[in-house]
Structures are given as C-alpha cells and as structure tokens.
Amino acid sequence: MLPPSRGLLWFGLVLGSVCASLESAAPGNSAADALNVLLIIVDDLRPSLGCYRDKLIRSPNIDQLASHSLLFQNAFAQQAVCAPSRVSFLTGRRPDTTRLYDFSSYWRVHAGNFSTIPQYFKENGYVTLSVGKVFHPGISSNHSDDSPYSWSLPAYHPSSEKYENTKTCRGPDGELHANLLCPVDVADVPEGTLPDKQSTEQAIRLLEKMKTSASPFFLAVGYHKPHIPFRYPKEFQKLYPLENITLAPDPQVPAGLPPVAYNPWMDIRQREDVQALNLSVPYGPVPADFQRKIRQSYFASVSYVDTQVGQLLSALDELQLASSTVVVLTSDHGWALGEHGEWAKYSNFDVTTRVPLMFYVPGRTAPLPEAGEKLFPYIDPFDSASEPMEPGRQAVDLVELLSLFPTLAGLAGLRVPPRCPIPSFHVQLCREGRNLLKHFQFRAVEGDPPVHANPRELVAYSQYPRPADSPQWNSDKPSLKDIKIMGYSIRTIDYRYTVWVGFNPQEFLANFSDIHAGELYFVDSDPLQDHNVYNDSQGGALPWSLMP
C-alpha cells in the first residue's frame, strides 16, 4: 500500500473527530450494517469500452467491474457539458431546475437550496469524501466543491492538475507546446506525475483510513481523462497503432442537420497542433490522418484511465472492502470523435449524451466474495493473454443519470427521496429521476417474466442551449445571458426527437410556439442519426406532452 503523507496524518486526526461525532448522531441503520459507496466518475467518457461491445478498446479493469455489475446499455446525460451535467445528476434535478446551463452560477444561490447525493449520505451518518473532479470546479460549485454541505472533509484536487493546459507536450520540433494530442513521458512532466495517478493514490489512502473507521463511507473519485487535452503516458499509444484506427463511420456533416444543432468544437481549435492545421470555421473538416490521431489518443486515454480504475478496485479488494461497498462507474457525458463532423460534446446526439453506467452491489449483482477471493484483481491492458470479459447482468431500458440519486440511496438502505412537485425550487430534498431499484430484482428462475418499465417511462430527456441559429464562436458554451435558443430532446427506444425553441434567459422560459428547427431520427433505420426526417414528418406531430 502507499505510504502516508503529512496531509494524510492531518486527515487521520480530522477523520477521527468526524467519525466520533457521526457515531453519536447517525440515524437509521447501524454503521456495521451500512454499505459503503464508491462512485467513480470519468470525464467525457462515451461507452467506448469492451463491456459495451467495442472490440478495439482495451479496458479490462472496467470490463471486469462490469462482469460483476448490472450494466445499463442505454443511459443518458441531461446536458452534454461538464458543470450542468454534474450538478444535475448530483442533485437529482434537471438543468431547467438547477438553472445551470453554463459554468457561471451556483444552484443554491440562483435556483434553490437543493440537497446533493453526498450531502444526503453525510446527513445519514456517512463520511463523505471527494477526490479529483467530482463537482466541476469554480463558480458552479461555489469554488469549494459544494463544501461544507456535501463533504465531511475538504475535497482533494491533485497538485499536478494545474499543468493540464500548459505547454507540457513535446512536439516533433523538440519544443514544448499546449497541444490537443499530448502523449508524455511521465518522468519528464512537472512533478513527475499526472492528475489521475495522484487521484488514485489519494483514494487508496482514504480507503486505507476508512477500513478502520466505525462509520460507513461515501467516496467519490473523479478522473480527468479522456477529457482534452489528451495528456497521458505515451506507452498507451502502443495499444492503438494508427493503421488499426478507422475514421468515424459518418465523418461528414449530415445534409439535413439544422445549423443550430451543429457545434463548431471551438475548444480543440485553440490547441497549438490544431491551430497549425488552419481549419476553416465552423465546419472544418479535419484532415483524415489527424482524425485518426485524435481517435488514437482518445482511446489511449481511456486505457490509461482503465489502469487507474483497476488499481483503485484492486485496493478495495486487498482491504477486504469489496463485500461491503457498492461501486458505481459512470461519466458526465460522451464525446464525438468525428461523428457528424464534430469533435466535442455540446450536442443532443446519442454520441454525446449516452454514457456508461454500471452498479456493482455485493450479494446482489454478484455473489459475496469467499474468504481470500479477489473480485477485482488488477489486469494489465498490455497483457495480450487476458481474455475479454462479458458483462454480468444487463438492462436495455432507457435510463437517465438523474436516477443516480434515488437508486444509490435505495441500494444503501436509505429512504429514497420523494418525487419532486412542480415546481420544486422551494423543496430541498426531492428527486426528478426514476428509482432504478426494480432493475435489481433479478429473476430467481430463468423462466420468470422480466421486470419492464412502463413504456411511458422509457424516455430520456436531454437539452442544449445555443446563442444563435447558426454556429458561431460561443455556440459550444454560451453564457446564460447569451442563450437565445434551447434544444430539447426526447430519446425513446424508437427515435430521437429534438426541437430548438426560443428561450428567455432572464425568465428561464422556453417558448414552444417559437420553433427554430427540429430533428427526428429513427433508431432502427438510422442508428447513427444522420438522416433528419423532421420536415418529412412535419415535426409537431410527436408528443411533447411527454416532457417532464
């Protein structure tokens, strides 16, 4: 195990006092019976994983977790950008309730004093701990990761995080650059480490401390990669030779795509290696050889993060905590790798809103480990002899990240927060997402009928703001004051339907009689969402009464 640091000694002293107070104040189940929670959030991770049938990706440790988990095949974020998505699923409220569509407001001040998942666990006797990127840092979490409401101790951020966007990428000219593509020799970077490595080390230290605590813990670990820049140990490139990397299956901007629906991926254009390509704005295109390099680095970043998840889960095993800890792995949203000619999130397409989501629940999704048995032994992604692992149990129903709050509460044996009234700005504790607990009621006999949701509930909602009808410099991330249009999107098992309507940012009101554009894609015949038939269907015939 890792040696303790001076900061950890301080942590031990503080933790002792925190746990002592919790033991006397904790309501509900006894601490001995309570399940711990390990929530792993991977930034910008689309379901490009072996357990989601992507045969190119080497993700053996996440695949191993999936083999012991309930894996949701069709989970969707509520807005495909970091801060709004994270505030949404951590509070269990939609962006129209948190009123956060950008990065520049704190929901407790501008919307309502809404409880968060870690706050709820903290109020129910848990020690709650944050490592890495859990809340988006900055104004949207009050420059404090929502402390002291959500966390028992101040959130941990890796010291090497400050170098992420600096000139640390060695270019072909031998000079250091601020590039998009940034494979590095870890020994040569500032501090000789990377943020996600530091987060894993800190999370393991916390697990070691919590092992001897009488209080249950809620530990959230947020990994930075594969968020841009693609700054990762260069050896992971070897897993993805360029000759094996294909372009996206639909690399062209679809002919029927409304201009308002397109995002011009301005953030990657600011990187030095992309600037050198002298791409036209807003539609590009990126040269084919550079497209392959972007995809290679994204996949390599995924495999790098997989090793960090593997080390973390292996430590959970070694500390004999796997039999008493619920493990959840998910992402805040996906990322387009050339699909529709886009290289970012910032849209309502499946490729940016669909996320991995899996729950390991000891004794439910997998048998309790026997004495000495390891559920999560570390697997080296470079070991070609390792066999691909099949996911454990799977659910195909459409679900939303909003469901994390009620589902985690229920799995931990806490009271599930009630459904929110409309409006709910005055209600501190409620949830707008479905409780997914019925998906964990597995059939005892194979012939038993499966549990299915009400077809009306098999809907996932997403939304994205725009400042104008055509792509411009701030189309990807408009500030609240500049939002003129909101794209509301319904995803069902059969179709994705999006309508772009007028929006008043002062009143937070959408005007559904002011339709700027629409999109309609049928899943069976157009799974990549390239052929917009909205105008053929006259759009408005679809049921907007389904909106929550």
- The residues that are catalytic are 82, 136
Q: At what angle do helices 195-211 and 288-318 cross, to 10 degrees?
A: 20
**Residue type (1 letter), 340:** H
Q: How far apart are CA 513 and CA 501, in angstroms?
A: 8
Sign of CA dihedral 172, 174, 175, 179: positive
Taking the CA atoms of residue 308, residue 309, residue 310 and residue 315 in that order, the dihedral angle to the nearest 10 degrees is 90
| DSSP conformational letter for 87 | H
As a whole number of angstroms, the distance between CA 339 and CA 216 comes to: 43
- Write out the two tokens for 349: 């397409």
49, two tokens: 């994983």
Return d(Cα 434, Cα 437) in angstroms, integer. 9
Q: How does DSSP assign 309-350, residue by residue?
A: HHHHHHHHHHTT-TTSEEEEEEES----SSGGG--SS-SSSH
Residue 524, by phi and psi: left (phi above 0), alpha (psi -120 to 50) or beta? alpha
- Strands (E) in 287-436, as ranges, are 325-331, 354-355, 357-360, 393-400
Task: State CA 205 to chain mean position distance.
Answer: 24
